[in-house]
Chains A and B, each alone.
Chain A
Amino acid sequence: MITYIVIGVVVVLIFWLLMTYNGLVTLRNRVREAWSQIDVQLKRRSSLIPNLVEAVKGYVKHEKGVLEEVTKARTSLMSAKNPHEAAEADNMLTGALKSLFAVAENYPNLKASENFIKLQDELSDTETKVAASRQFYNTNVLDLNNSLETVPSAWIGQMFGFKKEEFFKATDEEKKDVEVKF
């Protein structure tokens, strides 16, 4: 009798261990998938930049530095290898674009150009999409981190070397931007 109970307990334990382990793997994969979604949106964003630079170049004569900033930020965004680097480059690009659009204010012809308006519109939509994919990424990171910090799944996580992931944070500058909007 006792042997059966012991065998039963062991079987249940193994089953539970497998389930928890698989659950953690699923959560970790979701974080990775969510990350690749951010990547898709960031790529989309950087692919709009050359067109923008092309559209602006003809009008902006004196502030070439602004354009160089944008191009530089784009390059570092393209070469970013991890969430942290991408976040930094993306924030840099946001800042550079902001000064570009501020400069554009001084060129009525540029502001009125249909192409420029369309690109601006596309870029602002892409920015929303980047923010949305970041939100989804953070939701998934939260799920993973919750599992890795609450027992009993935290024990399994430790046993198999699962690591907590970092949230994709907004910069202080971006937070200010949001406040202005409302």
Chain B
Amino acid sequence: MATVNTAWDHVSGNIFKTWVIMFLFSLFTVAVVYIIARGFGYGEVGGLGIVGFALIMAGIMNFVSYFWSDKIVLGVSGAKPIKKEDNPEVYRIVENLCIAAGLPLPKIYIIDDTATNAFATGRDPKHAAIAFTKGILQKLNKQELEGVTAHELSHVGNRDTLLMAVVSVLVGTIALLADFFLRSMFYGGRDREGRGNQLFVILAIVAAILAPIVATLIQLAVSRRREFLADASGVLLTRYPQGLASALQKISGDREPLEVANRGTAHLYIVNPLKGQDAKQWLAGLFNTHPPIEMRIKALREMEGKI
């Protein structure tokens, strides 16, 4: 990984980093679960019972949002499906890039909003959907639109909806577990002696307070990594990093927020649709779903002429 500069290097580098983050996240989850289970202290079985309950709850909640991801998001954002006759240019761009990516043609939607943005979702390539705002179709030229489309189709091809769903299950499990534990501390207080080691009770309190925040930060780190990955995989499709770079430039120059986006769907879009919150400081940057646009453009410039 000495010379990370071709699009291939960017792709494999980002995949590698995703795995590193996921590995550390798994270790972190196991550790938190262990500490809190011991903090509950009613024997291994009782503690684990609560862990299992949290896991199942988080699993069910996330399965619903994963399985119907396309319907939920498209419904929330008010996107309308289009046919080939409605906008043959966009339709063809998507169609041709799908051929290059070896993906089935997703359903294509348009959001009636002048903000410049786009997103893709769906539980697998066969149930994928890609949506553009009217604004992005008006403001970008063909090459830029191809860059954006390739980025979105890469999310589909890289199975990012699935990955983020798995991450959400882990985050949800930790959050629920922490919540159960803190509640039991406040209300139950039931036979304090029954709780095992005092040390684990203290550790568990600390974990229950901090772990949900840390888990959310890791989730956001995965999300940012997948944005970089989609940029790089997209470049492998169009072989033209300048297209996406100038699209990102145009989109970031446009400060109009997208009304139909909210904090639940923000991570899906090509750039943060909520705008005005594009934090530049390192600490605030940790809370972003997307990497700063300048960093993405810098990575794309690096790939120019080296594909």
A136–B96 CB distance below 8 A = no
> Which residues from 97 to 147 on chain A have a C-beta closer than 8 Å to any C-beta of chain B?
125, 128-129, 132-133, 135-136, 139-140
Main secondary structure of the interface of A (DSSP, over half): helix
How many angstroms from the CA of A166 to the CA of B86 in the assembled complex? 39
Contact of B102 among A128, A129, A139 (CB under 8 A): A139
In the complex, chain B residues whose CB is within 8 Å of the CB of A34: 102
**Could you give 6 example pairs across A and B, Cβ below 8 Å?**
A37-B99, A37-B102, A125-B96, A129-B96, A132-B99, A132-B100
B100–A133 CB distance below 8 A = yes
Q: How far is the CB of A180 from chain B (nearest CB, A)?
A: 16
A46 at the interface (CB under 8 A from B): no
How many angstroms from the CA of A129 to the CA of B239 in the assembled complex? 15
In the complex, chain B residues whose CB is within 8 Å of the CB of A135: 100, 237, 239
On chain A, which size bracket covers the interface? 10 to 19
> Which of B97, B100, B239 lies at the interface centre, i.e. has the most chain A CB atoms within 10 A of its CB?
B100
How many angstroms from the CA of A34 to the CA of B101 in the assembled complex? 10
B92 at the interface (CB under 8 A from A): yes
Q: How far is the CB of A126 from chain B (nearest CB, A)?
A: 10
Shortest 8 CB-CB contacts between residues of A and residues of B: A132-B100, A132-B99, A135-B100, A136-B102, A132-B96, A133-B99, A128-B96, A136-B100
How many angstroms from the CA of A132 to the CA of B236 in the assembled complex? 12
How many angstroms from the CA of A135 to the CA of B102 in the assembled complex? 9
B95 at the interface (CB under 8 A from A): yes
How many angstroms from the CA of A37 to the CA of B100 in the assembled complex? 10
How many angstroms from the CA of A129 to the CA of B102 in the assembled complex? 12
In the complex, chain B residues whose CB is within 8 Å of the CB of A132: 96-97, 99-100
A125–B92 CB distance below 8 A = yes
Q: How far is the CB of A72 from chain B (nearest CB, A)?
A: 27
How many angstroms from the CA of A93 to the CA of B239 in the assembled complex? 25
